[in-house]
Amino acid sequence: MTQSAVKVLIVDDEPHARERLERLVGELPHCKVVGLCGTGTEALNVMSELEPSVVLLDIRMPGMSGIEAARHLSMLPAPPAVVFTTAYDEYAMEAFDAQAVGYLLKPIRKERLEQALRQAAKLTAAQLKIVAATEREAARRQHIAVRVRDALKLIPVKDIQFFRADQKYVSVHHAAGDDLIDESLTDLAEEFSPEFSRIHRSILVSVEYLEAIERDRSGRHFARLRGREELLPVGRRQVGDLKRLFSAR
Amino acid sequence: MSKSGAIRSSYDRETRAGDGPDRRRLATSMNTPAEPSWRRIAFDRAPQDDFFLPNFCAPRMVLAIVLILELLALTFALARRGGTDFLTELAGISLFMQWLGLTAAAVLCYSRRWLATLSVPIAVLMAFALLTANVAVLSEATFQLGRNLRESGINGSLFPDSHWAFLFRNAGISAIVTAMLLRYFFVAHQWSLHVHAEARSRLHALQARIRPHFFFNSMNTIASLTRSNPSCAEEAVADLADLFRATMRDSEEPSRMQEELELCRTYLRIEKLRLGERLTVRWQIGEVLASAIVPRLTIQPLLENAIHHGIEPLDGGGTVIVAGVLSADDIVITVTNPVTDMTGRYIRPGNRLALENIRERLSLAYGERGRVDVTEEEGHYAVTLRFPYEE
C-alpha cells in the first residue's frame, strides 16, 4: 500500500448499507471514503471529479446493475479497481470466483474488507464480459458508454437508432447525436438481439425505430428510420429478413 | 427443524421404495367419495384412526355392502345350472346373502373397537373367525327354518334340502370372500396411509422459505443499525425472528387472514428499513375476510416477489397493491406491482418457482378450487389467488 490514503467510492442503493460500509472503511488505516452513490449512473458521473482508486459496487441496484457499471468503468482511461458487494447472488459469485474478481458478502466483515481493499484489482473488459454473461437478470447493458476525454458519457440503449461500422470504429447514432465507440458490431449485434437487427454488413439498426423499406430505380433497398433524414442501405442478403420483420408487425 | 428434516427423509425413502407419483395420482382419483379429500390432506392432523378395517356402522358403508352383495347374488344366479327359474333363484340367493352381509356388517361394527386393540395378524384371524362363524350360524338357522316349514306343510322350495352340503358350501364361499375382502381392506388402508404421508411431507417440503437474498440483506441492515439506531435494530431482530418462526410452523395448521396479514406487515417493516421511501404498500382487504382461513404463508411470498421483482429494480420505487375480496364463495387475493422497462422484461426463474410452490400448495389444499393466475397488463404485473372461503 502506498503512503497516501486509498480513495474509496461506495456505491449501494440502500442507505443503511452505505452507512455501514462508510463506517467500516473509515475505521481502516490508509483508507478514505471519497464519495457515496446510490446508483451506478451516479457513480459513473462522479468518477472524473472524485478519482477514486477503488470502487465498492453493489451488484443489485435499480437501473444500472453493479456489473454493468463495472463494465463501463473499465473503459475509463485510468479505470479504478472494483470490488463487488452482494448479499447473495449464486450465479454471479461463481463467475467471480472463476474470473478471480474480488467480491464481498454482506454483512461485510471488517477483516474481509481490509483484505479485499488490499487485493483490489483493476478488472479487464474481457473478465467483466464473462461475469456479465452469467448475470441472470440481464446480460445486456442498458447504456452504452462513450469516452469523452477523461469522463464517460452514457447513452441509453433505447435512444439509439443505429450503429454503423467504419474502418476502425463503430459509430453510435442516437437521439442526441453521433459518437464513436470501441466495440465490434458483431458483439453489439449479439448483445442487443432481437431489439437490434443487422440490415447491412456494417449497419445494426434498432427495430423500434425502423419505419419503412424503400426501393430506388436501380432496385437497391433502403431503410427509413423514425426521426432520421438519411436513408440506410440494406444489404441484398438482409432484404428478406427485413421484409419478414415488417410483415410480422 | 429436526422434525421437518426427519419427515423429509422418510418421504425420500418412500418415494424411492415405490414409484410414488403414479401411485399417488391413482390413489387420489380413487379417493373421491362424498367427503372432499383435500380437506383431509390439508387440515386434519391424521386419519381418523390407524385401524385397517373401515367403519361398518356408517350408512355409506352399509349401502356399499348391500350393493356388492346384490351383485354377488346376481353372479351366483347367472351361474346356476339350469332347472330352476332365474328370478326365483335370484330372490332366494339375494335374501340369504343380504342377511349374511348385513349381520356380518353388524358383527364387524360392534367388534371393530375390540379388534382395533389387537395386533394386526390376530385381528385379521379374529375377524375371519367371527365372519365364518356368522355364516355358519346363519346357514344352520336357515336350514332349520326350511325343515320346520316343510314339516308344517308349507312350500319350502327356496330352502336347501341337504344339511351338511349347504353348510360346507356356504362356509367355503364365505371363507374365500372374507379372506379376499380382509386382504383388500388391509392393502387399501396401507395405501391410503402412504398417500397421506406423502401429501403431508410434500406440504412440508413446499412450505415457503425465506429467500436468501432477503435474509442476508436484512442482516446487513441490522448490522448497520446496531450502531446508528440500536432500538430499531432490536425491533428488526424481533421481526425477523417472528418471520422465521412462521416459516417453521406446522404448515397443516390453518391460519386466519388476520395472522397472515400480520405476518405480511412484519415482513414489510423489515423491507421498509431497507427500501425506505421507495416502498409503498396499499392495502385493500375487505373486513369480511378477517377471520377467513388462509393456507399459511401464501400472501407473504407474493409480497416478497412483488418487492424483489417490481420495486427493488425501480429507481424511484413504487407501490404494491394488496387487494382481497369475497367473490361468490371464493376468496380472491390480488397482489399487483408495477412493471417497467427495468423490471418486467425478464421473467426470472425465482419468481416462477415461488408461484409454482403456492400453486401446488393451494391445489393440495383445495383441489380444483385453489387457483393462481398471473396477469400482465400495461405497466402492471398481478398475481391472483383464488380459493374457497371458510371460517
Which of chain B's residues have a Cβ under 8 Å away from the Cβ of A39?
Answer: 315
Query: Taking CA atoms, what residue in B is nearest to A15?
Result: B274
A210-224, B40-54, B145-159, B371-385: least confidently modelled range: B40-54
Distance from CA of B339 to the nearest CA of A (A): 13
pLDDT at A133 > cutoff 80: no
pLDDT confidence tier of residue A88, bands split at 50, 70 and 90:
confident
Half-sphere exposure of B316 (CA within 13 A, CB side): 3
Residue A23 lies in a domain: yes
Residues of B in contact with A15 (CB under 8 A): 276
Domain boundary among A71, A101, A134: A134
CATH of the domain at A243: 2.40.50.1020
How large is the average pLDDT for residues B153-159? 70
Closest CA to B245 of B273, B302, B207, B203: B207
Question: Is A127 found in the same domain as A189?
Answer: no
Rounded to whole angstroms, the Cα distance separating B342 from A138 reads 10
Contact across the interface for B273 and A20, Cβ inside 8 Å: no
Query: What's residue B308's pLDDT?
Result: 86
Query: Which grid coordinates belong to A227?
Result: 426521426
* B31 shares its domain with B174: yes
B273 and B361 inside one domain: yes
Look at residue B208 and tell me whether its pLDDT is greater than 70. Answer: no
Which of chain A's residues have a Cβ under 8 Å away from the Cβ of B224?
16-17, 19-20
Which residues are B380's β-sheet partners?
A: B338, B377
Supply the pLDDT for residue A2.
47
Give the nearest chain A residue to B216 (CA atoms): A87
pLDDT at A242 over 50: yes
DSSP 8-state secondary structure symbol assigned to residue A157 = G
Q: Model-level pTM? A: 0.63
Same domain, A124 and A185: no
Residues B33-63 as b or e (16 or more Cβ within 10 Å = b):
eeeebbebbbeeeeeeeebbbeebeeeeebe
| DSSP result, B117-159 | TS-HHHHHHHHHHHHHHHHHHHHHHHHHHHHHHHHTT---TTS
Q: Give A46→chain B minimum CA distance, Å.
A: 18
Instruction: Output the CA–CA distances (angstroms, integers) from residue A146 to A169, A172, A178, B95, B295, in the order listed.
Output: 12, 9, 10, 98, 53
User: Which of A12, A13, A20, A64 should be substituted to probe chain B, the one whose Cβ sees the most B Cβ atoms within 10 Å?
Assistant: A20
Task: Give this complex's ipTM.
Answer: 0.73
Query: Residue A52: which CATH number?
Result: 3.40.50.2300
Q: Compute the average pLDDT of residues B199-227.
A: 81
Whether A98 and A205 map to the same domain: the answer is no
Q: Give yes or no for a contact between A58 and A83, defined as CB atoms under 8 angstroms apart.
A: no
Structural domains counted in chain B: 2
Cβ contacts of A191 within 8 Å, gap of 6 or more: A139, A140, A141
Closest by CA position to A13, among listed A40, A35, A52: A40
**How far B229 CA lies from chain A's nearest CA (Å)?**
10
Q: Which residues of A touch B274 (CB under 8 A)?
A: 14, 16
A72/A48 same-domain check: yes
Using a CB-CB distance cutoff of 8 angstroms, which residues of chain A are in contact with residue B216?
Answer: 87-88, 105-107
Which residue, of B188, B205, B222, is where some domain finishes? B205
**Mean pLDDT estimate for chain B:** 80
For chain B, list residues whose CB is within 8 angstroms of any CB belonging to chain A. 212-213, 215-217, 219-225, 227-228, 273-276, 312-315, 341-342, 345-346, 348-349
| Domain coverage including residue B270 | 207-388
Comparing C-alpha atoms, which of A74, A69, A59 is closest to residue A123? A74
CA nearest neighbour of A37 among A67, A69, A72: A69
If you search the block for the grid coordinates 486509498, which residue do you land on?
A: A6
Q: Is A133 on the interface with B (CB under 8 A)?
A: no
Structural domain including A43 reads 6-134
B28 and B176 together in one domain: yes
- Same domain membership, residue B181 and residue B222: no
pLDDT for A150:
77
Q: Based on the structure, what is the number of domains in chain A?
A: 2
B131 and B232 share a domain?
no
Whether A66 and A130 share a structural domain: yes
Q: If you measure CA to CA, which chain A residue comes closest to B229?
A: A16
> Is residue B139 domain-shared with residue B66, that is, in the same domain?
yes
pLDDT (0 to 100) of residue A134:
67
A156 and A104 within one domain: no
CB of A68 within 8 Å of a chain B CB? The answer is no
Pick from A17, A60, A63: CB nearest B224: A17
Work out the average pLDDT over B36-62: 62
Please indicate whether, in this complex, the C-beta atoms of A19 and B224 are within 8 angstroms of each other.
yes
Is the pLDDT at A137 greater than 90? The verdict is no
Q: What's the CA angle centered on A12, arms A10 and A17, to 5 degrees?
A: 90
Query: In sequence order, what DSSP letters do the residues of A63-97 get, joined into one string?
Result: SS-HHHHHHHHTTSSSPPEEEEEES--HHHHHHHH
Nearest to A81 by CA among A38, A144, A123, A46: A123
Mean pLDDT of the region B140-153: 85
**pLDDT tier at A27 (50, 70, 90 boundaries)?**
very high
Rounded to the nearest angstrom, the minimum Cα separation between B357 and chain A is 21
End position of a domain, from candidates B181, B205, B229: B205
- Judgement on whether residues A115 and A166 belong to the same structural domain of the protein: no
A111 CB-side CA count, 13 A:
0
pLDDT at B261: 92
Q: How confident is the model at residue B16 (pLDDT cuts 50, 70, 90)?
A: very low
pLDDT at B149: 83
Q: Cβ–Cβ of A87/B274 closer than 8 Å?
A: no
Lowest-confidence pick of A231-245, B26-40, B193-207: B26-40
Each residue of B289-302: pLDDT tens digit? 888 998 888 898 89
Taking CA atoms, what residue in A is nearest to B272?
A14
Instruction: Name the residue in chain A with its Cα closest to that of B226.
Output: A20
Q: Is B117 found in the same domain as B134?
A: yes
CA distance B211 to chain A (A): 10
Look at residue B25 and tell me whether its pLDDT is greater than 50: no
A–B interface: beta-carbon pairs under 8 A: 65
Q: CB contact, 8 Å: A19 with chain B?
A: yes
> Concatenated DSSP letters for B324-374?
EEEETTEEEEEEEEE--TTTTT---HHHHHHHHHHHHHHHHHHGGG-EEEE
Q: Which of B216, B224, B314 sits opposite A87 (nearest CB)?
A: B216
Say whether pLDDT at B42 is over 50.
Answer: no
